[in-house]
Chains A and B, each alone.
Chain A
């Protein structure tokens, strides 16, 4: 099953998004929240994202969802530090972090491959909420 890593400037946001998404996901899905800095301040930590990716991978790859700005840069920096083999099965979704993570979690839970999980997250970007 594809794992998911949530990167946010806030530890609480990353954890909260994980809680919402896990309500709809298979319990075997590995989802890791990587938000905030080690001392609890607002920010993103590429080393924490790196460790989260290692933890979320069970051999079928990992999708990373990120909020904005440095979250994306930290995710890219973390990916650049991964070994070639793992790097080839990790992707960053160009998606809103809440809706994208939920869509990815549902799709990953069905056993879909990384490309489908990423596409599901990215489709969430265009989902209308009113009418």
Chain B
């Protein structure tokens, strides 16, 4: 659960950037919302330290759905809730578990948000990330290397969101005028994945 500290730091660092992205095609609150949510997560984990991975992930999920405030709250909350269910009695995350978690997180986000690839949402970063992770895992790569491939795919997904029009969320009111802007949700997804990867790299 220490990885959450790295994630929170990355979200805080990118707070204004994410908000600026959301100013272009949304309601200018994504960075503020995400920072409020992840700082609340840190407070929660410090005030009531979880005694298992499963409980920790559930605590992250419940805090996000209560404190983010925007659509990303229930969406990321659902993603972490799915991860918590997959974690069961495990205490560490290996490549196999990470692959299951990433795929479940994507499924959860897609089913709640009713979004598919190409809608200019976080799915455009996370779905290719999960696929790239699995491809690396199948070719025998270790956790860090799988995560690195997934980050690369997520960043490519973020770039791809610049080329398409939004079909979900407030940005969809803009239609074709949203083309040229990268999606804030896809960007925060890539930032979270990169932070988790950075944490794995640090801790080995």
Binding site for B on A (CB under 8 A): 9, 37-38, 41-48, 69-70, 73-74, 76-77, 80
B37-71 near A? 1/0 per residue, CB < 8 Å: 00000000000000000000000001001111111
* Contact indicator B36/A74 (Cβ below 8 Å): no
CA distance A9 to B70 in the complex (A): 8
* Contact indicator B113/A45 (Cβ below 8 Å): no
CA distance A47 to B112 in the complex (A): 16
Q: Give the residues in chain B near A42, CB-CB below 8 Å.
A: 29, 69
Binding site for A on B (CB under 8 A): 29, 33, 36, 62, 65-75, 77-78, 112-113, 169-170
* Contact indicator B69/A43 (Cβ below 8 Å): yes
* Contact indicator A37/B71 (Cβ below 8 Å): no
* Contact indicator A69/B71 (Cβ below 8 Å): yes
CA distance A73 to B108 in the complex (A): 12
CA distance A73 to B114 in the complex (A): 10
CA distance A90 to B21 in the complex (A): 36
Q: Give the residues in chain B near A41, CB-CB below 8 Å.
A: 36, 69
* Contact indicator A38/B65 (Cβ below 8 Å): no
- Known contacts A73-B112, A73-B113, A77-B112: A46-B71 contact under CB 8 Å: no
* Contact indicator B69/A37 (Cβ below 8 Å): yes
Partner of A46, one of B66, B72, B113, B170: B66
Q: Give the residues in chain B near A37, CB-CB below 8 Å.
A: 66-67, 69
CB closest chain-A residue, reference B36 = A41
CB closest chain-B residue, reference A45 = B66
- Known contacts A41-B36, A43-B33, A47-B62: A73-B67 contact under CB 8 Å: no
